[in-house]
């Protein structure tokens, strides 16, 4: 299996097959719709905006009032930037390729995490017995997507961790 993320000079190259790019766009759009008019009862919203203060509803509400708009704006901006990143990808040999620069790798990592958390919230993955999910189960597909997104996150984290080690250099 080839890597989706790899080092390319100062950038991190993001290489996708067209179906992967389309899936990522679709998941991004679904998450954006959930966040544009957030319903506090929505499992996705609850997962992406967990309680800030446990055991004190009034303090939690006050903290959310201070933070909620900024956190929501940051998540929506991240989703928009992912769309921009995918738009600038070039097609070569049946793959979409884009170089992530500056803060873009961290942004992509954050969006992948949000999309994965949202998908998990939709299927209530925490209450799920994965061992009981067979190939014909309707939950098999979203679980496979979550695993694939997790694999992408692992690749990107390895590259970013390598950056941290390189940045420190020898003592």
Q: Cβ contacts of residue 107 below 8 Å, gap of 6+? A: 78, 81, 82, 85
Residue 69's pLDDT is 86
Q: For 103-124, what is each residue's pLDDT tens digit?
A: 999 999 999 999 999 999 999 9
User: Residue 165 has what pLDDT?
Assistant: 42
Distances (CA, A) of 74 to 17, 39, 67, 106, 166: 28, 18, 11, 13, 29
* Confidence at residue 170, expressed as pLDDT on a 0 to 100 scale: 36
User: With a cut of 50, which residues of the chain have pLDDT below it?
Assistant: 164-171
pLDDT of residue 163: 52
Q: What is the pLDDT of residue 114?
A: 97
């Amino acid at each position: 299996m080839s890597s989706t993320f790899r080092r390319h000079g100062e950038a991190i190259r993001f290489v996708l097959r067209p179906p992967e790019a389309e899936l990522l766009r679709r998941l991004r759009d679904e998450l954006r719709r959930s966040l544009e008019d957030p319903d506090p009862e929505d499992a996705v919203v609850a997962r992406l905006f967990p309680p800030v203060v446990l055991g004190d509803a009034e303090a939690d509400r006050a903290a959310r009032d201070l933070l909620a708009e900024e956190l929501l704006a940051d998540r929506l901006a991240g989703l928009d930037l992912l769309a921009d990143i995918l738009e600038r990808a070039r097609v070569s040999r049946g793959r979409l390729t884009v170089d992530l620069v500056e803060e873009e790798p961290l942004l992509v990592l954050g969006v992948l995490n949000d999309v994965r958390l949202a998908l998990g919230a939709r299927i209530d993955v925490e209450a799920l017995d994965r061992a009981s999910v067979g190939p014909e189960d309707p939950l098999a597909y979203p679980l496979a997507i979550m695993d694939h997104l997790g694999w992408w996150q692992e690749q990107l984290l390895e590259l970013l961790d390598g950056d941290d080690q390189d940045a420190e250099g020898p003592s």
